Structure 1
Amino acid sequence: MDEQTAKIVIAAGGCVGVLFWLTAIGLYRKLAAAENPRRFESIVKGRQPAETIDSLLQQGQLFSPQARLERIAGNRLAVQQMGVRLELEASGQGSDTRLAATVDDSTLTHRFQLGLGAFVLIVMPIVIGGVVAALWHLVAPSDKLAVRWQTLQVLQIAHVLWPPFLIYFIWRRLHDQAGNAAANLTTLASAAPGSRE
């Protein structure tokens, strides 16, 4: 491998690294712009507000054993677990009840944002730029063929290309699960035995 070919290999690896880095920045921006808090509502037929909250509490399998439940008032319940806070509020609407669930996972999102930010804003630029610069200036111009073949070490930047995607997709799954749990609770409350359709 001659010097020119070595530099082409290094440049190609650097371009791939930069593309992944730019994509990771896009994921970071999506995470930072996540909707918080989110609100879900349903109508529970034939129940009073306090009865609606009592009904949810009686169905113990709806809440995780690790969740911290707090009955704020007769018609309000707060559930907190792993940086996610869910507030349920039941209000009278004639003979029925409007159940509103507000889920706020901003604490969880902030933790993931810090981790992803560290990778995207600090680690990725240092590793991608450092590996490319070191190979470009130290390996490619070498007189020894065996040393020039070390330009393939540009593949080492792959170690920092996948973690931002993993962090983002784990956060996305938890964010969606929190919203789905809130939506499901409001739906289950309106379909619970004792509520009249």
Structure 2
Amino acid sequence: MVRALPVFLFSFLLSITCLQAQTSSEPLVNQYLEQAKNLMYEGKYQDANVVFRKMLALNTTLPEDMSYLFAETLYHLGQHKNSQNFLTKYLTLTGRAGSYYEPALELQELLDVAMRAVTNCRFCNGAGFRLVDCTTCNQEGTLDKTCPNCQGHGRTQCQKCYGEGVLVSLNKLGTRQYATCDNCDGKGIHTCRVCVGTKVISSPCPTCLGSLKLRS
């Protein structure tokens, strides 16, 4: 009979497991942080944003400085509300002792200006952007193009009889014999399996990705 572990022992083992997982991910966290800082220094904020989100996906304890650096990155990408959230988190965690305290105050001033501009904007009603109709697909969400499988004919040649409708074979005497192609019923063609005879195929609009609207 298997005995259940006491609750305190189970909790102790669980805490050790979590600590080991956190320790094992620490080198990767530091690697990501340095990579993101270098990208920020080069002005590649979109790439830095990708790296920061990889850090968040690790689901582990992250350095306090990451909150400020991510906030600065988001500010440069125009994501002011998200930037404010991470900046507030940084100042709450570190206060005046934070290594980025002075830059954080400067960033807060920039965010205050940006947020006021958004709040007072009569065009976007405080959203920071407007939705306009997609002109690429004319609000259809999809674009039609000629089917590449049948080249816009709606039909394809039978690959068994090569469009002849009959199959030719030699009997034992070496004489040719003919039979109706059982693959196309003697028609020599098939309805295109890709466009199902419509001659075109539809794909999501590459501009609005099927949403019909664009941010402006």
Question: TM-score scaled by structure 2?
Answer: 0.25
Q: Rg bigger for which structure?
A: 2
- Structure (1/2) with the larger strand percentage: 1
